[in-house]
A and B are shown apart, each in its own frame.
Chain A
């Protein structure tokens, strides 16, 4: 099992230089995610325009997998509708948990790099924290999300 499958160049890059790594002053949806046992935490900011995610930003700290996942997620959902973002969530969840799932690279784009996480079950919660937090933000739920 090559470590490169998990720590691909894309992931290392997004960890080093996370995209959309800022709080949004004019956010109208917000959610927090925290995995206390491993220390990953993030705050997610959405600027909704109708049902389109006009802008998205995040802040937080955690392992490379969690940070890269948040970064790639924000890139993937910016400009999408809530329905499209929900579909991406379903696809991503299957990607990191179901090893029979063959990812549709056209649909997932760069998110497909997380297919390696399937081989590292302990790290699935790191990769999925950002997505569960996104869902909470989209559904305007109050509580802090955890994937532990």
Chain B
């Protein structure tokens, strides 16, 4: 590592300086500075990503994998370079193990409809947890219904932690796949995914991990985890919307049938017989979100340059600060209090519906999410219709938490 990088890494986390990289953070909302605390829904984008997207369309745009002219070669190289960036970001063994998708939801659907259809049969079981996002529930429900298989759900405790013993009990001879979230978007719980993979593999069961939230809060190493599939989405990773990635072990991806049919995923086409392209192209039909992939590459570069050690330390301090500050608001109860959690502050206030909380804090410029966060089973389990959720990212500050708390006290006053 060069001495310049060492100096940069050793420097204290200058969040004010970092915020300047994100133009939207200078916005005003209802006459107040934007306090953006809905990062679990989507993150804001650094200028490096915005410039990359603009430059792509202004100077580099061409379709990929097809042309023999320079512009197409360069666009192809940039797209494939982005794939390698995601590979390194997740520490996958090979770039071909990274399939670009539209988002995590598509990545999970891809596995369900190819690997799932191939592997799961009548009477088999798919094991998920009670805290999953709908995107890691519904594709499996659809698969189980189609195949006459059963969806089993590992329970969570009142703190929002997965009950590992119960999970292990549910791993049986008919279990064909485990699908579990790394970091819960509604509770903030970080699941012991390395242990989950070990337990599942002991029984010969492959594991898909939904890394949508985890990937921008912590360093993910898919080889160390030894997971079989890992899904990420670009727009939560400070990248553009419309791009995500599925990591899959090469040996598995090779054996899986194609997902969508069309151009690029083929090797040769006749009306009598069509042969398919190699992995990852087999799973990337049609013209992809080229700009999105290249933008995601720029986002990955940016996050890497800031460094997960510093990001995680900053976010952890804010989470602790925010947890204490929110606990002081009369009538406020935190939902999701796992010992290992990150970023997410989900809460309810007695006598005040989350919708009303959201509208009132919005008038102070504060953006939080209210609702079931695509986790209706979690809401049912805690017997609430919805929560209000603030979620922290690298550019948030203590002052912003203070503004949120001030707005919540206003809510409390208004509702008595």
Contacts and interface: CB of A to CB of B under 8 A. Distances in A.
B385 A61 contact: yes
A85 interface: no
Interface stretch (A1-9, A21-29, A70-78, A87-95): A1-9
Interface string B353-369: 11110011001000000
A3 B353 contact: no
A39 B414 CA distance: 21
A141 interface: no
Give chain A's interface secondary structure class: mixed
Given A38-B371, A39-B386, A64-B352, A120 B415 contact: no
Interface residues of B, number: 18
A120 B358 CA distance: 12
B66 interface: no
B239 to A, nearest CB: 27
A37 B414 contact: no
Q: Which of A41, A62, A63 has the most CB of B within 10 A?
A: A63
A136 interface: no
B30 interface: yes
Contacts of B416: 12, 16
Contacts of B386: 38-39
Contacts of B415: 12, 15-16, 64
A6 B372 contact: no
Interface in B378-409: 379, 385-386
Q: Quick one: which of A3, A41, A123 has the most chain B CB within 10 A?
A: A3
B29 to A, nearest CB: 11
Nearest to A7: B414
A44 interface: no
A44 B363 CA distance: 32
Contacts of B352: 64
B359 A62 contact: no
Contact of B355 (A1, A16, A126): A126
Contacts of A16: 415-416
Given A12-B415, A16-B416, A64-B415, A38 B360 contact: no
A79 B386 CA distance: 36
B52 to A, nearest CB: 33
Interface in B8-58: 30
A40 B414 CA distance: 20
Contact of A63 (B30, B356, B372, B379): B356
A7 B411 CA distance: 11
A64 B411 CA distance: 12
A6 B359 contact: yes
A16 to B, nearest CB: 7
A65 B353 CA distance: 10
Contacts of A123: 355, 359
Nearest to B351: A16
A65 B355 contact: yes
B360 A3 contact: yes
Contact of B356 (A37, A41, A61, A65): A65
23 contacts: A7-B356, A7-B360, A7-B414, A12-B414, A12-B415, A15-B415, A39-B353, A39-B354, A39-B355, A39-B385, A39-B386, A41-B385, A62-B353, A62-B385, A63-B353, A63-B356, A64-B352, A64-B356, A64-B415, A65-B355, A65-B356, A123-B359, A126-B355
Nearest 9 pairs between A and B by C-beta? A39-B385, A63-B353, A63-B355, A3-B363, A39-B386, A64-B356, A63-B356, A38-B355, A3-B360
